[in-house]
Structure formats: C-alpha cells, structure tokens
Structure 1
Amino acid sequence: MNESNSLFSQAKKLCVRAWFVGARIDARELERGETLSVSPLTIRAGERGYAFLFRFGVAVFVELNVVEEANFVKQLEPFIQGKMTDPETEETDIKIAPELSERVDMEGTLILHQATLERLQVVANVLAKSVVLAHYENRVAGVFDRIERFAEHLRSNSSPARPNDLLREIGDVLLIQARTVGRVEVTEKPEITWDEPELDRLYERLAVEYELRERDLALSRKLELISTTAETYLELLQNRQSIRVEWYIVSLIVIEIVLILYELFVQ
C-alpha cells in the first residue's frame, strides 16, 4: 500500500455522502470501465470526485455536488435491483490533518492523515453499513408500531389483524435479516483491513464511532422480538379459528340431531 498516493493531495476538507439506492447493485458491467478498485468498485465520478459502489445497494460519493450525485444515481438505475423510491442518505466531512490522530472529532468531522484510496475505502465501507442500518432501523420502527397495535387488539379482545398481515410482518423481518446479515455483513471487517494494521485500527475506530456492532445487535433483537410476537399472535388467531370451526361442527351436529328427533316425533 502506497500511503503517499493521495487522491486529493491539495485538499484539506472533503465531503462524503452515502446513498442507499436499492436492494442490490449489479456492478459487473460497470467493472469493465475505468476502475481504481473492485472491492468495493471504485470509479471516477463527477468533475473531480469518486464513487464507491457496494453490491448490497449503496453508493458512496466523495467530493461530488448534489447535482453530480443525482446524475450518477440516475445513470446507475439500470444496474439497481429493488430501487428505493426515497433513498436513505448519510454524510460526513473529512478533514485532512497529518499532525492529528485519526478520529471523529466533537463536531462529527472525520480526521484522516491522508486521503488515500485505501483510507477512503475504509470510510466508505463504514458509512455504507451505517446508512443501511439507518434505513432498516426506521423501517423496523414502523413494524414495531403495527405489532403494538396487534397487541392492543389482543388485550382488548377486539377484531384481530388478518393472518395475511401477520405473515407479511414475518416476511419483512426475514427479508431484513437476510439483507443485513447475508449481504451487508455489518459486523465483518472489509478485506482491505486484513493485512494492514493501520487500516484495521482506522476501521475499528470508525466502527465504534458509528456504533455498527451495537446497532446491529439492537436491530437483531428487535427483529427477533417482532418475529416472536407475530408468530405468537398468528398462532392465537389460528387457535381462535380452530375453536370457531369446532363450534360450527358442534352446531351442525346439534341441528342434525334436532332434525332427526323432529322427524321421529312427527312420524
């Protein structure tokens, strides 16, 4: 790794913004163009910036203005699966200061020694995971509200939710788990840090600052609670339906007996 190879040798401050654009970015076609790296896919973008593309649906831009970012995302649409209608975004500023320790300061600005490709890849990786977590944290909050209403119905013995609604909630939970664990791998370190202690330390600092592991654990616990609650409620609904069917059967038997007795006495 060549530490002196800074992508922005004259810059003292950079803007980084992550877009969660869809469920997946198929970058195979994009890899055929001019690329700086393939893990994540790193290409030049805008007038003087760069784009870091992650297969789990996130594009991270460095030194692109809002118009350049929107245009890039527009051009990216043919390669996006499950496109977000309202993409989640997250941004931070980077200050280049070789004399300071690499960290996030009190104002939320990330301090780096140099804006090398490898360091920016680490930053992009953390920010990409953070924006995915933010999206699903908001989504899970909405599911929690619906689950709470289900519980209120159960407590008040009012009209329960339809089984299809509960099955949809369980499906949402399984989908979130599959995407965050299987695709994003929030708790896993990027490959670039494996053989580079300095990059590994930088990643660890940022992971702690953005609370990636804590947020992933909290999200997993909420998903587990939602899944358990929905499954329990669905089971109760099925039991109620079974009891109702049993009463229908008993009623039919009683009616049949009454008819038989009526016929016997009438004759």
Structure 2
Amino acid sequence: MNLLSLYLDRPLTKATIEYSLELQMNKGVENGYYGRNDLLHVVLSPFGVLSLIAEEKKTILHALSTLGIIIEDESDTITQDYPIHIDPLMEERFKVTNEAIYLREVSTLNLNVIALAISQSVGLERYEKRLDTLFMQSRRIVESIQTFSITRRSHLMQFAKRLALTRHDMVSNLLLLDKPNILWDNEEAEALYNRLAFILELYDRHEIALSKLAQIKEDVMLVMDLINHKKSEFLEWIIIVLIAVEIAMGLMQMIK
C-alpha cells in the first residue's frame, strides 16, 4: 500500500471529496474526517492536510486529479509519502522504520492513526517553512535597528500579530500538545501513534519551532523597546526646545 499526505493550498470541503471520489466521509480523529471505498482510503485533517492511501500510486494520482489537485513542482508542494506493507505472519502487530510501515493486518483505526501522524508532519513542515521566512524578516528588522521610520512601529505590531497567530495555529491545530482522545481507549493505536511520532520527530520539531518563535519574539520586543526609548527621547527634546523657546520669549518681553 502507498500513503501520500499533502498540504492543501486551497480549502477542500468534505462534500467536495464525497462528490468527486464517490465515497462517504465520516467523523474521524478529533475534528478530521475519513472515508473509503474499494480502492482508496481518504483522511482530511482539520489543519488542511489531505492523506490518501491505496494499493497503487496511480489510484492516488487519479484521485488527486479528480479533486483538481495537480502536483507540478514538488519543491512548491509540501508532501510526504510512506509505503505500508501488510504481513499477516508478523509476530508483532506493527513495525515502523524510517523507510516503511509494517502492519500485521489492516484496520480503519490503524490507517487513520497513520494518516494523522503523517498529516501532522506535513502540517509541521508548513509551519517550519513559514518560520524560516519570519526568522529572515526578524533578522532584517534587527539589522535595520538604527533607521528611523514613522510607520515602523505599526509594521512591528503587524509582525508581532503574525507571530502570535502562528503560535496559536501551531498549538491548537496540529494537536501535538494534547493526545487525541481516541488513543486513550486503545493501547495498540496509542503505541502505533507514539512510534510514528518518534520516527517523524514530531515533538522535537515542534519544540524547535516554538523556540524559534520565542527567539523571534525576543528580537521584536528588543526593537520595540528601542523604538519606544527613541520616541521618549524625541519627546523629551521637544519639551526641552519648547521650554527654551518659552524662556527666550519671556526674556525678550522683559528686555522690551
């Protein structure tokens, strides 16, 4: 079997998938949906990642084409794929390596758990790329710390807003800080998810992303403090000049 997860550049609704692929989507893990027919297993995550599982890759590519999704340039599309092998003679129920996933038997729950972990990895990669862009912007902000601009404060406020929203989305959407409810009631599914999370380094990557966000936040706060300090100095000089002008005018009136 083959699994492909990709980040959707445009929203894809449950109804669109049902109509296009002729299958029924049901409530899956957390706020996600899943559906399947004789050839295809589909999982739509709440954070905009679509996962397709099928025996043959051409089935997956056909489904993507039917949905109007064409992967032209893989460098611009965030995707991850994983082969899934079924071996009824395996002693353990599952085995996960960097190269493949091995299952003793296929179940809807196992496929949904696998799709969830791979989807989280794809979603995390999207935030990692966004953080790289924010990190470069933060560096430029620090490098231009000596320049003065009237609109700079508002630009920094907008940048800080983007940081806050990025952190909020990472924590609330990717479900990496809270274990999905379905895993509490199934030890096998929990063990499979934990193994996938370890192989994909989900928690380590999440912590690194949050530390980058914290570093960018510190840079922005530093620049904001310096701008506020410069503004205070500017206002102090205005007050000093006004006082000097008032004293000078008073002296001129006394001389007259």
Matched letter for residue 211 of structure 1? E
Matched, 1:176 2:163: no
User: Match for 2:186: what amino acid?
Assistant: E
CA contact (8 A) 2:52 2:60 kept: no
AA at the equivalent of 2:120: K
Unaligned runs of 5+ in 2: 70-75
The corresponding residue for 2:186 is 196
User: Does 134-143 or 56-65 show the bigger shift?
Assistant: 56-65
Q: Are 1:21 and 2:5 counterparts? A: no
In 1, the alpha carbon distance for the partners of 2:36 and 2:121 equals: 23
The one-letter code of the counterpart of 1:183 is: N
Q: Where does residue 245 of structure 1 map in the other structure?
A: 235
What secondary structure sits across from 1:35 in the alignment?
Answer: coil
Q: 1:95 aligns with which of 85, 89, 92?
A: 85
Residues 25-60 of structure 1 deviation map (CA, whole Å, 9 limit, x = unaligned): 664897899536411311237x82121112222221
Counterparts of 1:19 and 1:97 in 2: how far apart (Å)?
Answer: 27
2:80 aligned partner, one-letter code: E
Distance 2:63 2:25 in 1: 19
Decide whether the 8 Å contact of 1:25 with 1:56 is kept in 2: no
In 2: Cα distance, 1:213 partner to 1:125 partner: 14
Contact 2:124 2:174 in 1 (8 A): no
* Aligned 1:62-211 pairs, distance under 5 A: 62-63=53-54, 64-72=59-67, 88-100=78-90, 102-106=94-98, 108-154=99-145, 157-159=146-148, 162-211=152-201
Give the alignment's Cα RMSD to 1 decimal.
2.9
Q: Are 1:58 and 1:128, in contact at CA under 8 Å, matched by a contact in 2?
A: yes
Amino-acid identity (%)? 24
| Equivalent residue in structure 2 for 1:236, among 192, 207, 226 | 226
Q: TM-score of the superposition, structure 1-length normalised?
A: 0.77
Are the aligned partners of 2:96 and 2:102 in contact in 1 as well (CA < 8 Å)?
yes
1:49 aligns with 2:36: no
Alpha-carbon deviation of 1:110? 2.0
Unaligned runs of 5+ in 1: 1-13, 75-85
Residue 191 of structure 1: CA displacement?
3.1
Give, in whole Å, the separation in 1 of the partners of 2:190 and 2:2.
22
CA distance 1:177–1:27, shift in 2 (3 Å): farther
CA distance change for structure 1 residues 73 and 19 in 2, over 3 Å: closer, same or farther? farther
Q: CA-to-partner distance for each residue in 1:121-143, whole Å, 9 max, x for gaps?
A: 01111011111110001111111
